[in-house]
């Protein structure tokens, strides 16, 4: 039996194994919804799944272009399991499951849509869109026109959008359990942007915040309509923490560190040469996150 929960712990569930598949999805909708480089889902027969608590806390958003439903905890924004009734299966975000899962990732789908700053280094099969056996076709998503010197991002429903000048000051992958639960993904992808360079363009009133009660600072922000992860930014804060998966435009900065690797998901193998730190990196590494002077 495997157990899972959202970041705040209101939504809890369990599922009997074994899982039937495990997939990394790089489509723009998964990246936006999770705020991560990719989403990782495991599937199991729906008859083996049980809700423990929190069903009344689950919100749902129907994607206009595809008709697909995205569900999330309305209190903390974590992505929650969804059912494919026609196939009799449940799809569960692996980042919210505890411990060993008895399965490893089997494929990358929508690799043709992957984030330009993310590199696939493993030898798993890659599919440009859906694998042929899925019998599905991709949908067209709205494109954002790039603007010189400006990085832009938005949520899945498009009601919340932001921008910042130039590129981030620092970019790191975080494998801590809070980032995994908060992003419902293998790890977070956190960009540090000086507050003086960051701006909400629209929908700021849609941004909801959840702070982990026992944490000194850890919190997440998300769109209350679609559940997409959003930048963590508040009045008086020197830095905005931007989930890279929500970007609409390309950046040239590559991730410079993997932090809290000692807490990484046991089913995730790392193949790149990005510097790794068991917990927080040394001060000189974090010093790069200090806000740069306004341009």
Output the pLDDT for position 294.
41
Domain total in the chain = 2
Q: Are residues 56 and 111 in the same domain?
A: yes
* Cα–Cα distance list, 249 to 163, 205, 281 (Å): 10, 23, 28
Q: Are residues 173 and 113 in the same domain?
A: no
Please compute the mean of the pLDDT values over residues 17-30 and round it to a whole number: 94
User: Vertex 10, ends 221 and 188: CA angle to 5°?
Assistant: 40
Q: With CA atoms as reference, report the closest residue to 226 among 34, 28, 19.
A: 34
Q: Percent of the chain having pLDDT more than 70? A: 96
Please compute the mean of the pLDDT values over residues 216-234 and round it to a whole number: 93
Output the pLDDT for position 235.
66
Above 80 in pLDDT, residue 61? yes
Residue 125 lies inside a defined structural domain of this protein: yes
Output the pLDDT for position 164.
96
For 88, the domain range is 2-130
Output the pLDDT for position 86.
83
Above 70 in pLDDT, residue 293? no
Residue 46 lies inside a defined structural domain of this protein: yes
Output the pLDDT for position 295.
38
Please compute the mean of the pLDDT values over residues 164-172 and round it to a whole number: 93
Q: Which of 99, 130, 161 is the last residue of a domain?
A: 130
Q: Are residues 201 and 168 in the same domain?
A: yes
Residue 137 lies inside a defined structural domain of this protein: no
Residue 135 lies inside a defined structural domain of this protein: no
Above 60 in pLDDT, residue 4? yes
Q: Are residues 274 and 164 in the same domain?
A: yes
CATH number at residue 115: 2.170.150.70
Question: What integer best gives the mean pLDDT of the chain?
Answer: 92
Indicate the burial class of 88 (C-beta count within 10 angstroms; 0-12, 13-18, 19 or more).
Answer: exposed
Residue 40 lies inside a defined structural domain of this protein: yes
* H or E stretch covering 253: none
Among 57-66, 152-161, 215-224, the range of highest mean pLDDT: 152-161
Above 70 in pLDDT, residue 288? no
Q: Which of 75, 97, 130 is the last residue of a domain?
A: 130
Output the pLDDT for position 275.
94
Alpha helices, H only, the chain = 28-34, 177-183, 283-286
Strand partners, 45: 89
Residue 136 lies inside a defined structural domain of this protein: no
Q: Are residues 126 and 157 in the same domain?
A: no
Residue 242 lies inside a defined structural domain of this protein: yes
Output the pLDDT for position 233.
87
Question: Residue 290's pLDDT band (boundaries 50, 70, 90)?
Answer: low
Q: Are residues 88 and 209 in the same domain?
A: no
Please compute the mean of the pLDDT values over residues 153-174 and round it to a whole number: 95
Q: Are residues 196 and 114 in the same domain?
A: no
* Cα–Cα distance list, 164 to 61, 148, 246, 254, 294 (Å): 27, 11, 13, 17, 11
pLDDT tens for residues 239-280?
Answer: 999 999 999 999 999 999 999 999 999 999 999 999 999 998
Q: Are residues 156 and 111 in the same domain?
A: no
Residue 116 lies inside a defined structural domain of this protein: yes
Please compute the mean of the pLDDT values over residues 79-83 and round it to a whole number: 96
Output the pLDDT for position 132.
86
Q: Are residues 155 and 93 in the same domain?
A: no
Q: Are residues 7 and 55 in the same domain?
A: yes
Lowest mean pLDDT among 55-59, 78-82, 252-256: 252-256
Output the pLDDT for position 260.
97
């Amino acid at each position: 039996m495997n157990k899972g929960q959202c970041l705040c712990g209101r939504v809890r569930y369990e599922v009997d194994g074994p899982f039937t598949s495990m997939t990394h999805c790089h489509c723009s909708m998964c990246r936006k919804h999770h705020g991560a480089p990719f989403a990782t889902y495991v599937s199991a027969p729906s008859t083996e799944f049980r809700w423990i608590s929190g069903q009344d806390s689950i919100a749902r958003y129907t994607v206009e272009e595809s008709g697909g439903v995205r569900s999330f905890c309305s209190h903390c924004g974590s992505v929650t399991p969804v059912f494919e009734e026609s196939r009799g299966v449940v799809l569960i975000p692996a980042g919210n499951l505890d411990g060993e899962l008895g399965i490893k990732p089997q494929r990358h789908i929508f690799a043709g849509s992957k984030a330009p700053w993310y590199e696939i280094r493993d030898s798993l099969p890659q599919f440009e869109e859906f694998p042929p056996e899925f019998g599905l076709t991709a949908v067209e998503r709205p494109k954002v026109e790039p603007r010189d010197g400006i990085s832009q991002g938005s949520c899945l429903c498009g009601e919340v959008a932001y921008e910042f000048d130039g590129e981030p000051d620092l970019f790191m992958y975080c494998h801590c359990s809070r980032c995994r639960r908060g992003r419902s993904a293998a790890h977070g992808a956190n960009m540090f942007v000086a507050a003086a360079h960051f701006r909400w363009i629209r929908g700021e009133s849609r941004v909801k915040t959840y702070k982990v009660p026992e944490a000194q600072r850890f919190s997440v922000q998300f769109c209350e309509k679609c559940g997409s992860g959003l930048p963590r930014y508040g009045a008086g804060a020197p830095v905005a923490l931007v989930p890279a998966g929500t970007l609409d435009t390309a950046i040239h900065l590559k991730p410079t560190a993997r932090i809290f690797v000692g807490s990484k998901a046991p089913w995730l193998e790392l193949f790149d040469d990005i510097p790794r730190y068991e917990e927080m990196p040394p001060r000189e590494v974090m010093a790069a996150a200090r806000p740069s002077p306004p341009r």
